[in-house]
């Protein structure tokens, strides 16, 4: 009896070791963090409706992280084309907001064409199903919130949980992945940390960090030797980031800083790669980051100063010649320029800070939007008199 048990256990253990031993490289995935949905954790799925209102992804808009009061995109898929209701509740069950949306794909607002037969509908169900893009605003107060999805008959389909950070928290993006190394008990985590946004100033590149946690720091150094970090945007194939000198270690973790240069403001994907040899590599961790070129803000500021001086000069000249109408118009243009200048000065001040809070980042984005609106108005005014 005992002999049988021991033999069976040995066999199972042996099979497990075979299954999880990596064939090449130093790592293999034992991921237990970062669900594929984005920053949402699924808490409940109604077993009676396994194919309705499936949470496919949550994508924060304009930022790579959930920012209080900012737009979020919840992607849902379903085997039925119908309206889905989203109720946002706090942990005490108070309703914060309610949204409703009909599926968008393949038929906008579920307007199924008359010539669509059952065969077509079944083919849609078999492939991607009916997709719904539900935009909602994240609650403005810090805390944990439930996202509850209901169908048209008010059946609770799914519950997800999101964490809304405080506006005063430091704006940063992090992504952590866990891996096993040689033995299943020997876990290490690889964490990507970047400020939000990564700021590039003058000639100095932005900085992002990779932190590796593992019981043995000598192992960590070996892992660092074997990894590279890249940044890819929709416009570029990807640049390899150069590491800054030295690694900082404390207890069981070490951090290495990488330099992210950019001559433009953009959004892209930061990836940590494991070198597999023979030119091969595999992704260990990745995340979306925003990069802001602070030099652009300085250039805008200089151009605004020049425009202000020119409009002031033209206002003076017209006033002197007694051409009141044009003098007044250049005066109005000057006022508009002051508004834009105030917005740009505020952005510049914020970007000069060492660490930005989420409130700062929101202000930067709001100021960019306002400056764009004011500039369009100004452009129309100038076009009317030039």
Partner 1 sequence: MNNKVVVLFIVVVIAIAIFATAYYYYESIKLREKKLESDIERKQINEDIEFIKEALENLSNAFPETNLPS
Among 26, 190, 270, 307, binds partner 1 (CB under 8 A): 307
CA angle 174, 178, 183 (to 5 degrees): 160
Least separation, in Å, of the C-beta of 291 and partner 1?
A: 6
Does 34 bind partner 1 (CB under 8 A)? Our answer is no
The residue range among 175-183, 224-232, 242-250, 372-380 that interacts with partner 1, by the rule CB under 8 A, is 372-380
- 195 in Cβ contact with 65 (< 8 Å): no
How far is Cα 132 from Cα 240, in angstroms, rounded to an integer? 37
Does 81 bind partner 1 (CB under 8 A)? Our answer is no
Does 217 bind partner 1 (CB under 8 A)? Our answer is no
Tokens matching residue 136: 């909602």
Does 173 bind partner 1 (CB under 8 A)? Our answer is no
Does 355 bind partner 1 (CB under 8 A)? Our answer is no
> CA nearest 253: which of 190, 179, 166?
190
Least separation, in Å, of the C-beta of 241 and partner 1?
A: 18
Rounded alpha-carbon distances, angstroms, from residue 309 to 266, 302, 316, 338:
31, 11, 11, 11
Least separation, in Å, of the C-beta of 351 and partner 1?
A: 10
Least separation, in Å, of the C-beta of 239 and partner 1?
A: 16
Phi, psi of 138 (to 5 degrees): -65, 145
Residue closer to partner 1 by CB (options 101, 326) is: 326
The bridge status of strand 95-102 relative to strand 54-60 is unpaired
> CA nearest 222: which of 271, 259, 171, 256?
256
Residue closer to partner 1 by CB (options 59, 285) is: 59
Question: Would you give the binding string for partner 1 spanning residues 334-353, x where CB under 8 A is met?
Answer: ------x------x------
Residue closer to partner 1 by CB (options 281, 348) is: 348
The residue range among 27-35, 110-118, 245-253, 319-327 that interacts with partner 1, by the rule CB under 8 A, is 319-327
Size of interface with partner 1, in residues (CB under 8 A): 44
Among 306, 354, 355, 384, binds partner 1 (CB under 8 A): 306
Residue closer to partner 1 by CB (options 247, 375) is: 375
How far is Cα 281 from Cα 272, in angstroms, rounded to an integer? 10
Q: Which of residues 180-199 bind partner 1 (CB under 8 A)?
A: 197
Q: What is the DSSP string of 347-384?
A: HHHHHTSSS-BHHHHHHHHHHHHHHHHHHHHHHHHHHH
The residue range among 24-32, 43-51, 222-230, 313-321 that interacts with partner 1, by the rule CB under 8 A, is 313-321
> CA nearest 252: which of 186, 341, 350, 195?
186
Does 326 bind partner 1 (CB under 8 A)? Our answer is yes
How far is Cα 343 from Cα 320, in angstroms, rounded to an integer? 31
The residue range among 183-191, 201-209, 278-286, 287-295 that interacts with partner 1, by the rule CB under 8 A, is 287-295
> CA nearest 260: which of 190, 348, 195, 213?
195
Biggest CA–CA distance in the chain, Å, is 112
- 262 in Cβ contact with 200 (< 8 Å): yes
Question: Would you give the binding string for partner 1 spanning residues 119-158, x where CB under 8 A is met?
Answer: --------------x-------------------------
User: Burial letters for 202-213: b for 16+ Cβ neighbours within 10 Å, e otherwise?
Assistant: eeebbbbbbbbb
Does 315 bind partner 1 (CB under 8 A)? Our answer is no
How far is Cα 178 from Cα 191, in angstroms, rounded to an integer? 9
Q: Which residues bind partner 1 (CB under 8 A)?
A: 57, 59, 61-63, 73, 75, 133, 197, 264-267, 290-293, 296-297, 299-300, 303-304, 306-307, 310, 314, 317-318, 321, 323, 326, 340, 347, 365, 368-369, 371-372, 375, 378-379, 382, 386
């Amino acid at each position: 009896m005992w002999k049988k048990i021991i033999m069976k256990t040995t066999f199972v253990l042996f099979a497990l070791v075979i299954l999880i031993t990596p064939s090449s490289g130093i790592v293999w995935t034992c991921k237990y963090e970062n669900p594929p949905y984005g920053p949402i954790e699924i808490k409940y799925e109604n077993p009676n409706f396994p194919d309705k209102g499936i949470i496919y992804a949550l994508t924060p808009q304009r930022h790579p992280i959930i920012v209080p009061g900012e737009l979020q995109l919840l992607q849902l898929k379903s085997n039925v084309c119908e309206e889905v209701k989203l109720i946002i509740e706090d942990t005490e069950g108070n309703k914060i907001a309610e949204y409703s949306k009909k599926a968008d794909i393949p038929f906008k607002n579920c307007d199924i064409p008359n010539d669509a037969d059952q065969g077509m509908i079944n083919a849609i169900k078999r492939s991607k199903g009916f997709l719904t893009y539900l935009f909602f605003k994240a609650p403005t107060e810090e805390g944990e919130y439930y996202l509850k999805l209901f169908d048209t008959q008010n059946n609770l389909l799914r519950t997800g949980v999101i964490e809304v950070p405080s506006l005063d928290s430091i704006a940063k993006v992090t992504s952590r992945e866990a891996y096993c190394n040689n033995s299943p008990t020997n876990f290490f985590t690889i964490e990507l940390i970047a400020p939000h946004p990564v700021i590039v100033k003058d000639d100095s590149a932005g900085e992002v960090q990779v932190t590796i946690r593992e019981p043995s720091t000598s192992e960590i150094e070996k892992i660092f030797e074997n990894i590279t970090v890249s940044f890819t945007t929709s416009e570029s194939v990807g640049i390899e980031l150069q590491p800054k000198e030295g690694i900082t270690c404390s207890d069981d973790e070490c951090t290495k800083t990488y330099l992210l240069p950019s001559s433009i403001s953009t959004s892209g994907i930061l990836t940590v790669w494991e070198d597999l040899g023979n030119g091969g590599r595999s992704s260990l961790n990745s995340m979306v980051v925003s990069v802001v070129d602070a030099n652009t803000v300085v250039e805008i500021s200089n151009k605004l100063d020049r425009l202000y001086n020119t409009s002031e000069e033209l206002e003076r000249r017209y006033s002197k010649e007694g051409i009141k109408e044009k003098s007044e118009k250049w005066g109005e243009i000057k006022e508009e320029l002051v508004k834009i200048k105030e917005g740009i000065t505020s952005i510049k001040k914020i970007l000069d800070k060492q660490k930005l809070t989420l409130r700062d980042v929101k202000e930067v984005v709001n100021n960019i939007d306002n400056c764009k609106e004011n500039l369009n108005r100004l452009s129309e005014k100038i076009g009317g008199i030039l």
